[in-house]
Amino acid sequence: MMKNTTPNAQLSFETQAVHGGRDDFRSLGVHAPPLDLSTTNPVTGIGSAAASLDAMAAGGTPVDGQAIYARLFNPTVDRFEQALAGLEGADAAVAFSSGMAALTACLLATRQVKPTAARPHVVAVRPIYGGSDHLLDGNLLGIDTTWARAHEVAQAIRPETALVIIETPANPTLTLVDIEAVVEQAGDVAVLVDSTFATPVLQQPLKHGATLVLHSATKFLGGHGDVMAGVVATSNAEWLAALRQVRVLTGAVLHPLAGYLLHRGLATLPVRVKAAQEGATVLASRLAEHPAVGRVCFPGQTSDDPTGLVGKQMSGPGTLVTFELRGGYEAAARTVEHLRLITPAVSLGSTDSLIQHPAAMTHRIVSEQGQREGGISPSMLRLSVGLEDADDLWQDLDQALTRAMESPVLDGQAFDGRAVPATDAATAPGQVLAIASGG
Ligand SMILES: *Cc1c(COP(=O)(O)O)cnc(C)c1O
C-alpha cells in the first residue's frame, strides 16, 4: 500500500526517527499522521477485494489500498510499523496489542515457519522479563523450552528447535548477552532478541545477525506511560508472513490510536533515551558510593561488561540501573516506601522515573530456580531513570536510602522475598496461571 520503510536509508537515525512513515504527507497535504479509526473499509470492486484478501492471507499488505477490515490492516498502525522497521534496519515490522501478545505471536509462528511432528522447541537464556519466563516455562502454548546459559545455547539446540530467545540488556539484572556469539551458536535456527531495554537508539540486533527483534512498545517507544503495545521487526519474509497471519487469526491487533501515539513517540525517542541515559550514568556512580548500597548493575561498568559490548553491540549503557541493598529485602522495601519523587511502579521507559522490586513484582511469577539462574535477589531494586534533573532524583534516592537504613517498613506487609511457587501451576495443564505483572 504505502511506500516501504524510511524516507532514505542514507539519513541519520535521528532524522529517520522524525520522518519515518511520513513519505506521503506532502502529497496528502497533512502535517500530522491521519488517525484512521475505521473497523471496516468500503471496497472498490469485488474482484479487487478478493485479490487484496489473498495477498493478506499470504502475509502481505493490501492490494490497491483495499484494507477490507481493521483486523487485517490499518494505515495508522502501518505508518508506525514502517517507521520502527526503518529504525531497526528491518524490511518490516508487525505491531501487536502488547509485548506479551508479540512474544506469543512469535511462539505460535514457530509452527508455521518450522512445522514439526514434535512439539515446537525453543531455547531461552535467563534472565528475561518475568511474564516471558512464565509463558516459556509453562505449558499454555504447548511449546517446549530449554533454559540455557548464553555460552551453552549450541548444546541445547535440537532438530525441532525453531527459535532461540535472548534479552539484552536483560530484565531485571541488565546482564548483556553477546548477540553475535548466540547467532553463531544457533546456526540456522532463528534468534529473537527482546531489545526493549536498549531501544533501536542504542542497539539494532538485526545488524548482529538476529532474525527477529521484539519490543514491549509499552516502554520506551511509547515513552509516556500511556500506550500498551508490542512490535516485532524482521527482514525474514517467512517470519514476516507468519507473524502477520498469526495476528490476523488470533486478533491481538494494535488499536490505531495506540499506533498514532507510538508513531509520535518515535520522533522523540533518540532525544529521550540519550537524556535519560545521562541521568542514569550519574545515578549509577552515586549509588555505587552510597553506604546502603552493595552491588550496582549498570552496563557501563567494566565489571558488568567484561567483553566490552558497550561501545560495540550497544552504543551506550542505557537508562536503567539495578542495585542491591546491603540490608537485604527489608532495606530494599523500605527504600521504595521512603521515595517521594520516584514512583514505585512496574514498567519503564517513561518520562518519569519508576522503581520496582523485581523479586516481589515483575519477576514474582518466576520459579525459584528461575530466579536463582537469573540472579534475581530479594535485595534488588530496578530503577528506570526518566527525564527529571539527576540532582533532584539523587536527593530523593539519597534520603530514602538513608532513612531505610534506620526506620521500619511502612507497608507492614510481610514478604520473604522468595518467588511464589507458580511453576507447578503453570506446567500442569488445566491449572490457573499466575498473574504476570508489567515491565
Ligand atoms: C514489559 C516487558 C515485556 C512485556 O510487554 P507488555 O507490553 O507488558 O506486554 C516483554 N519484555 C520486556 C523486556 C519487558 O520489559
User: Which tens digit of pLDDT belongs to each residue from 199-254?
Assistant: 999 999 999 999 999 999 999 999 999 999 999 999 999 999 999 999 999 999 99
Q: How many CA atoms lie within 13 A of 149 on its CB side?
A: 5
List, as one string, the DSSP characters of 154-204: HHH--TTEEEEEEESSPTTT-----HHHHHHHHTTSEEEEE-TTTHHHH--
* Whole-Å CA distances, 294 to 193, 279, 318, 401, 404: 30, 20, 21, 12, 14
Q: Which of 420, 427, 377, 381 is nearest to 404 (CA)?
A: 381
Ligand 1 atom nearest to 348, measured from its CA = 15
Burial 204-233 (b: 16+ CB within 10 A, else e): bbbebebbbbbbbbbbbbbbebebbbbbbb
Q: For residue 396, what pLDDT is reported?
A: 98
- Kindly give the distance from the C-alpha atom of residue 405 to the centroid of ligand 1, in angstroms, as a whole number: 32
Q: Which three cell numbers stand for residue 388?
A: 527529571
φ/ψ of 240, rounded to 5, equals: -60, -50
Question: Using a 6 Å cutoff on CB, does residue 438 contact ligand 1?
Answer: yes
Instruction: Centre a 10 Å sphere on the Cβ of residue 347 and count the other Cβ atoms it contains.
Output: 18
Atom 4 in ligand 1: residue holding the nearest Cα: 99
Three-state secondary structure readout of 212-245: EEEEECCCCCCCCCCCCCEEEEECCHHHHHHHHH
Rounded distance, CA 130 to CA 128, Å? 6
- Kindly give the distance from the C-alpha atom of residue 48 to the centroid of ligand 1, in angstroms, as a whole number: 39
Ligand 1 atom nearest to 100, measured from its CA = 9
For the chain, counts of helices (H) and of strands (E): 15, 12
Question: Using a 6 Å cutoff on CB, does residue 76 contact ligand 1?
Answer: no
Q: How far apart are the first and last CA of the chain?
A: 34
- Kindly give the distance from the C-alpha atom of residue 216 to the centroid of ligand 1, in angstroms, as a whole number: 4
* E-only strand ranges, 277-379: 293-297, 320-325, 343-344, 354-356
Question: Using a 6 Å cutoff on CB, does residue 5 contact ligand 1?
Answer: no
Domains of the chain with CATH codes: 269-424 (3.90.1150.10)
Rounded distance, CA 93 to CA 321, Å? 29
Rounded distance, CA 343 to CA 438, Å? 15
Active-site residue 194, yes or no?
A: yes
Ligand 1 atom nearest to 229, measured from its CA = 7
Q: For residue 64, what pLDDT is reported?
A: 92
Of 193, 219, 226, the residue with max ligand 1 atoms within 8 A of its CB, to mutate for a pocket test, comes to 219
Active-site residue 329, yes or no?
A: no
Rounded distance, CA 173 to CA 283, Å? 16
Contact residues for 303 (Cβ-Cβ < 8 A; gap 6+):
none
Q: For residue 303, what pLDDT is reported?
A: 75
Active-site residue 69, yes or no?
A: no
- Kindly give the distance from the C-alpha atom of residue 193 to the centroid of ligand 1, in angstroms, as a whole number: 12
**pTM for the full model?**
0.93
Q: For residue 432, what pLDDT is reported?
A: 42
Rounded distance, CA 284 to CA 390, Å? 11
Q: For residue 417, what pLDDT is reported?
A: 56
Rounded distance, CA 398 to CA 285, Å? 13
Atom 7 in ligand 1: residue holding the nearest Cα: 99
Each residue's pLDDT, cut to its tens digit, for the chain (439 residues) gives: 444 444 566 899 999 999 999 999 999 999 999 999 999 999 999 999 999 999 999 999 999 999 999 999 999 999 999 999 999 999 999 999 999 999 999 999 999 999 998 899 999 999 999 999 999 999 999 999 999 999 999 999 999 999 999 999 999 999 999 999 999 999 999 999 999 999 999 999 999 999 999 999 999 999 999 999 999 999 999 999 999 999 999 999 999 999 999 999 999 999 999 999 999 999 999 999 999 999 999 997 877 787 899 999 999 999 999 999 999 999 999 999 999 999 999 999 999 999 999 999 989 989 889 998 989 999 999 999 999 999 999 999 999 999 998 865 555 555 555 554 444 434 443 344 556 567 7
Q: For residue 423, what pLDDT is reported?
A: 41
Question: Using a 6 Å cutoff on CB, does residue 358 contact ligand 1?
Answer: no
Q: Residue 123 forms beta bridges with which residues?
A: 146, 164
Atom 14 in ligand 1: residue holding the nearest Cα: 439
Active-site residue 274, yes or no?
A: no
Identify the active-site residue in 23, 129, 247, 334.
Answer: 129
